[in-house]
Structures are given as C-alpha cells and as structure tokens.
Structure 1
C-alpha cells in the first residue's frame, strides 16, 4: 500500500508541476507579447519582410503581437503585403504565413492552420518570436522571427 500511495502522489505532483509550468509559460508569453514595441517590434517586422514572398504568400496574425508585427511591416514597405481574408478563398498555390509573438503551446497555431487550409491554402507556415520549438500539426514549417531578444520575467 505504501508503494501505491507514493506512486499516486508522484503522479499527482508531476501533473501539478506540469500544469503550473504551463501556466507560467502562458503568463510569460502574454507579458512579452503585450510589451513588444520599439527595436524588438521593428526587428520582427524586418524579419517578416525577409520571409514574405509576394504573389505566393498571404499573411495572417495569430495574436495581437502578430497584428502589431504585420502593421509595422506594412508601415515599412511601400509595396502591398497580401493579407488572409476569411471572405475570400486562397488561390490554388498559396502559402499562408501565420505571424505571432511568443506562444506557450501549439493549440492556437494548429487551429489557425486548420482554418486557412479549409479556406484553400495549400501550405501553412508559421513565424513566431518564440516560445515553442516542436512541430505543429498542419504547419509545414515553424520559423522564429530571429534577432528578437525580449526579456521574459
């Protein structure tokens, strides 16, 4: 009985610490995204412009930080950046580039990939500032918006 109690407690503690770690990760990502401004925002927008392929790609924000990154890129570029629009289907060979800040897990990215694939995107890529490095279902490639160094508490 003692061994069973110990195993049960160990499993419970493991679950508690994993949940606690995930909550801290989400909080840190939220804080970093909310304070993304200045040189870090500009560097992310410049990296987005290097990744963007006109005529073959549409971009879509994953979160508020993604909206700011795309907005900064639009302000830096005279040429048009094609945005994803839920009211219009993708062209036959379009890639959707999902743009986001720090992410704590893959769920939001996976949901966005499912949505744009359903709208006709033939390939989905993601570019995020950081926070998640494992593969994400429905996403062909996950890139980091390089050169970003944001202090996370």
Structure 2
C-alpha cells in the first residue's frame, strides 16, 4: 500500500506543478477546463462505482467517496488542460481525431498497468475500451466547449 500512496501523491503534485507550463494567455481557459471537466469525470466515475463496474481499493477520502478524488478532480482535469493547450487547432478533422484518440490510448494503457500492478483501481465489469472511449469523448467535448466559449471558431 506504500506504492499506491506514493503514486497518488506524485500524481497530484506533478499535475498541479505542471500547470505552471500553461501559457499566461490561456490561464482563463485553464480554470474553465479544470471546472468543466470535474463534472463529467465525477459523474462518470461515481456512476461506474455505484454500478459495480469499477473499484478503487486504495483511495484517498475513503470514508467520503468511493471514487478516486485525485484522478477525478486533479489529474484528469489537468491532462485535459494540457490536451487543450497543445490541441492542433489548424489540423484537419482527421488529425484532430487521431490526436485525441492517441492521448486517450496512452492514458488507457497507463490505467491498464495500474489496474494490473497496483490496488489503485480494479475492473469488476469495466473494460479498457470504455475507459478509452470515455476519455476521448470528454477530450472532444472539452475541446468543442472551449472553442465555443472562447470563440475560437477561426482556429478550427
């Protein structure tokens, strides 16, 4: 269980510190994305836990919430900030889709390793491709919402 605690602490620290890399002209977008992404990740995570598809055997705030607070509220929203910061706005729709799908695949692979080698997450009816699909969906919705909210249509 020491490994799990170290991984959770490192994920939170690295995620928060990585926000320093956000360009100053995108600070408002960063805040918007952080709050925007927390809603669907919390709802999706909580729903999957309640339906018994996922378990988080080792988690922070265990007496309050059965999901992973650090992943749902810090790590994944911060990843969405970086995905948006480096999003290829001028690319073709095909390349934009490949960009989001590839990042989702990398994250899914990392989660798959965590599921097999740690007690941070256990699939009890969940499948890796559902993780990938939900991540790509949230990335896409985030990108579209940011483009709409910040009037970035000229970049698309």
Taking structure 2 as the reference length, what is the TM-score of the superposition? 0.32
Structure possessing the higher relative contact order (Cα contacts under 8 Å, 6 or more residues apart): 2
Taking structure 1 as the reference length, what is the TM-score of the superposition? 0.32
The structure carrying a bigger helix percent of its residues is 2
The structure carrying a bigger strand percent of its residues is 1
